[in-house]
Amino acid sequence: MDAVRGLRHRGGRPLNTGAALQYVMDNVFTNSTGSRLDTAKKDVVFLLDGSDGTRNGFSAMRDFVERVVEKLSVGENKDRVSVVQYSREAEVHFSLNTHRTREDVMDAVRGLRHRGGRPLNTGAALQYVMDNVFTNSTGSRRLQGVPQILILLAGGRSFDNVDTPASALKQRGIFVFAIGSRTSDSRELQRLSFEPSYALSVSDFSGLDTVQEQISSLMSTAVVRSRPLTTTETVGRQTPARDVVFLLDATDATRSDFPAVQDFVQRVVETLLVDEKQDRVSVVQYSRDPAVQFYLNTYMTKDEILNAVRNLRHKGGRSLNTGAALQYLRENVFTASSGSRRLEGVPQVLILLSSGRSADSVDAPASALKQMGILTFAVGSRGSDSRELQRISHKPTSAFTVAEFTDLSSVPQQLLASLEALPIDVTPETPTDSEILYQNLLQMSIF
């Protein structure tokens, strides 16, 4: 306040607002001057066109990578960096968990040598980084909610198809920035990018310095957009224990989308505080009949649950009997013997993923779950009945819809916000005599 009161008018002309905006971006919104915008950790992968066509521009590409890395806060618990070069095939120069300091990364970048080769298989390279670089074993922290960024430099049009791998990267929430030259296909770059505005072009790679600030700005935007609800934040907010059950549509229609469903479950589980006295998780698949994959008291650590989810096998089946599945959960999963703590007042959460309209009636079992105090969130695709999803959910705003299950990456943040707002005091229906008996026996350590 004293400093503001002491301000004196500066004077001068003309009014260069553009230059002033650039100045504060370069000199005020920085780590060294106290800004905390870029302190959120991120995993950054550079995918560099190393084909014969970029031989003359490779030194400029290398300089570009250096300049971007220079602005990062590299460290094991901060920013991590990987570089991959490709032409016909992709080659990892170093993974996200190879170097732990900025100096080590810079030295490795300076030592890069142009790979050479033809043709330019950008599609195969994108698939390669998804399968081999954005993984836990190579240092990716995607499942921990850390923003994942891929910066692609491509000097020409891809020889193979890029649409499928590019779509898969988007489904996993990976922010792709594509930079091309005059010989690149601008529409292809836009399809590759997380969104069209993330595609940039230069006349040739010697002009990469002209997009340097754009990339930095876009990366900061991506980090803010993807900022997850972290475990630390959850602890700080003193989130109460929860019992979370996932009910997954496993009909034949969801077979090709099942990896995206598994990824969705993993993302939500990563935000939970899994422990016997904290959050518990169960997963059930269903089609004509439901099948419990594991109960609320089967696993008591996050790693065990994530491993079980990764190993799920699609059940299959034609008929989608959502009503019967909801009734099954009420009678067999949200019970004390299966690990539910409903009678202890622990919030009971059901997350339903359904790709179509139920073949049987959902109204009675959905109503029964609400009466038990179970908070149901329903996520459907374009084949679902939106009104049915709303009737199943504990309130209409707890129903979400995506075009395809491959778009589920957009849902976790909305769900997490809803889970965060769960009521701490849950008043369930009056327990039955058998439930009271079981609870008494439990307290007497008979079970």
Strand partners, 335: none
Residue ranges in the chain whose pLDDT is less than 70: 31, 36-39, 225-239, 410, 412-414, 416-447
| Per-residue confidence (pLDDT) for residue 62, from 0 to 100 | 93
Packing angle, helices 58-70 and 102-110, rounded to 10: 180
Contact 278, 426 (CB under 8 A): no
In our burial notation (b when 16+ CB lie closer than 10 A, e otherwise), range 69-101 reads bebbebeeeebbbbbbbbbbebebbbbbbbbee
Rounded CA-CA distance 50/135 in Å is 23
pLDDT over 90 percentage in the chain: 53
Domain 243-421 has CATH 3.90.1150.110: no
Rounded CA-CA distance 215/229 in Å is 25
| Per-residue confidence (pLDDT) for residue 426, from 0 to 100 | 43
**Sheet (strand 174-180) strand order:** 90-94, 80-86, 43-49, 148-154, 174-180, 199-201
Q: Minimal CA–CA distance to 341: which of 234, 442, 236, 231? A: 442
Coil, strand or helix at 1: coil
Q: Where are the alpha helices (DSSP H) in 185-230?
A: 186-192, 212-226
Rounded CA-CA distance 197/177 in Å is 9
Rounded CA-CA distance 292/248 in Å is 10
What is the DSSP annotation of 105-156?
A: HHHHHHT------SS--HHHHHHHHHHHTSSGGGT--GGGT--EEEEEEESS
pTM recorded for the entire structure: 0.51
| Per-residue confidence (pLDDT) for residue 160, from 0 to 100 | 92
Q: Where are the domains of the chain?
A: 43-226, 243-421
Count the residues in the chain: 447
Rounded CA-CA distance 401/179 in Å is 32
Rounded CA-CA distance 274/96 in Å is 27
The CATH architecture that domain 43-226 belongs to is 3-Layer(aba) Sandwich (3.40)
In our burial notation (b when 16+ CB lie closer than 10 A, e otherwise), range 391-413 reads ebbbeeebbbebeebbbbbebbb
Strand partners, 92: 84
Angle at CA of residue 387, ends 385 and 388, nearest 5°: 65
The reply to whether domains 43-226 and 243-421 share a CATH topology is: yes
Coil, strand or helix at 285: strand
279 Cβ contact list (under 8 Å, min separation 6): 241, 242, 243, 244, 272, 273
Contact 431, 418 (CB under 8 A): no
